[in-house]
Structure 1
Amino acid sequence: MYHLSLNISGQLCIIVGGGKVAERKALSLLKAGAQVRLISPQLTDALHELAAARQIDWLPRCFELGDLADALLVFAATDSAAANKAAAQEAKAAGKLINVADAPELCSFHVPAVVRQGDLSIAVSTNGKSPALAARIRKELEAEYGPEYAVLLDLLGRVRAEVLAGTADGAARRNLFENLPHEDILLWIKTGQKERLRSWLRAVLGPDADYDLSQPDNS
């Protein structure tokens, strides 16, 4: 598998199915800004609410040939192996990327278990062999990589943008980037030692360095 992070904002993603698996897929896709369409005679209560609120499109019928024409991504998540296989065959014939629940051999992509802390994403994939193991490892990583990493990454991103926009040459930039992450910086963030962190930033970047050290939104 070739792993990547895909921008699906505004893109049509189709889910064939309307049960709990389809619900989880839909919520995840909506969070990423996708346009979501479900094809299923029935939906869970939560999906019904999303359809009623026009947050998702709903075709209240079984999957038919031609339904996938405009999709970027396709998810087959019905309780019928035959229906899932039919959706996978059409998706592949149309050059669409397809994920089939509980059938890794029919998938052209897998969705990893992901730890998110702000802009930090850590993905765990078992290539579809054991989603349960991927979820277990994700929980372990969540304990290791807490909200302080969101603050750190936000800070490093802002510092990097300002340094790159400045007049420092390549060697000076590299020196700044290498010296900025102090071995205790995560501890300072985690324990709220903002003045200690500010002092370090000023020592590395200069006396005028001043950054908002509040925790970014991790929603």
Structure 2
Amino acid sequence: MNVVYPVFFDIRAKRCLVVGGGMVAERKIRGLLREKADVVIVSPAVTEGIAHLAVQAQCCWLKKKYTADDLHGAFLVFAVTDSPEVQERVVSDAEAMGLPVNVADQPERCTFHVPAVLRRGDLTIAVSTAGKSPALAAMVRQTLAEQYGEEYAQLLSLMGKLRPLVINAARTSDERKALFQKILHGDMIHWIKSGRWDKVRRHLQVVLGQEVDDIININRE
């Protein structure tokens, strides 16, 4: 069994190097761009989609063969070529520089894996199979998508707005924990899903002992 440590990186404005220009590379690039990464592609040729992104200045395409110098300044490295020799050089160079590297179709050579991700607002659920079966990860993600709807995004947004009230109302970490647990009443998610904000309001007023109309109204907008 592979032992991996789950972690979320903030890659905004961080240099992510993608070596390769095919369809798999394009999927990686689009995923990185969604997270506002500074994407640099190294490849003599790329797909039309990647070329279009480069023309739009959404990423930087270095039209050349890979060299170890391309790794300087990288935060994450992706080896996505159809050349085993190039793949191996990217991995060896990245490891020598202490850089995390993801290798297409070679999970045993990866030092990090990209999971299947489900997002509901600021709630992020990631599913990883340590690279053994992306198809299974996608299937589990779909199952989770059916279970966790947009109401969870609303609940998380509400909890974020309630957090300062709870911190002010509770004197110790144990009291805060107990208060948060009371707020997350078993029916809360069902009330939000069905639009019963009147029930949410009454429940929060009882638990917190104060009016929450402003918070409820903002959360519903």
TM-score by length of 2: 0.91
> Residues 19, 161 of structure 1: CA spacing in aligned structure 2 closer, same or farther, 3 A cutoff?
farther
Q: Which position in structure 2 is the counterpart of 1:18?
A: 21
Q: Which position in structure 1 is the counterpart of 2:187?
A: 184
- How far apart are the structure 2 equivalents of 1:167 and 1:149? 24
1:43 counterpart = 2:43: no
Q: Which position in structure 2 is the counterpart of 1:154?
A: 157
- How far apart are the structure 1 equivalents of 2:83 and 2:175? 60
- How far apart are the structure 1 equivalents of 2:169 and 2:97? 50
Equivalent pairs counted in the alignment come to 214
- How far apart are the structure 1 equivalents of 2:162 and 2:111? 39
- How far does residue 95 in structure 1 lie from its aligned partner after superposition? 1.0
Give the conservation status (yes or no) of the 8 Å contact 1:194–1:213.
no
Match of 2:70, SS? Answer: coil
Match of 2:157, SS? Answer: helix
- How far does residue 174 in structure 1 lie from its aligned partner after superposition? 3.3
Q: Which position in structure 2 is the counterpart of 1:169?
A: 171
Alignment of 1:12-161 (within 5 A): 12-161=15-164
Deviating runs (4+, > 4 A) in structure 1? none
Q: Which position in structure 1 is the counterpart of 2:219?
A: 213
> Residues 167, 177 of structure 1: CA spacing in aligned structure 2 closer, same or farther, 3 A cutoff?
closer
Match of 1:28, as an amino acid?
G
Structure 1 alignment gaps of length 5 or more: none
> Residues 25, 169 of structure 1: CA spacing in aligned structure 2 closer, same or farther, 3 A cutoff?
same
Match of 1:66, SS? Answer: helix
- How far apart are the structure 2 equivalents of 1:128 and 1:168? 44
Per-residue CA deviations over 1:42-92 (Å, capped at 9, x if unaligned) read 222221121011110110112122111110100001122221111111111
- How far does residue 118 in structure 1 lie from its aligned partner after superposition? 1.1
- How far apart are the structure 1 equivalents of 2:117 and 2:201? 31
Give the conservation status (yes or no) of the 8 Å contact 2:166–2:180.
no
- How far apart are the structure 1 equivalents of 2:220 and 2:49? 34
Per-residue CA deviations over 1:154-196 (Å, capped at 9, x if unaligned) read 11121113322x2531254333212111111111111111222
- How far apart are the structure 1 equivalents of 2:169 and 2:181? 18
- How far apart are the structure 2 equivalents of 1:196 and 1:167? 22
Structure 2 alignment gaps of length 5 or more: none
- How far apart are the structure 2 equivalents of 1:55 and 1:118? 24
Per-residue CA deviations over 1:23-57 (Å, capped at 9, x if unaligned) read 11111111112100001112222211210111101
Q: Give the CA RMSD over aligned residues.
A: 1.5
TM-score by length of 1: 0.92
- How far apart are the structure 1 equivalents of 2:98 and 2:148? 37
- How far apart are the structure 2 equivalents of 1:169 and 1:30? 43
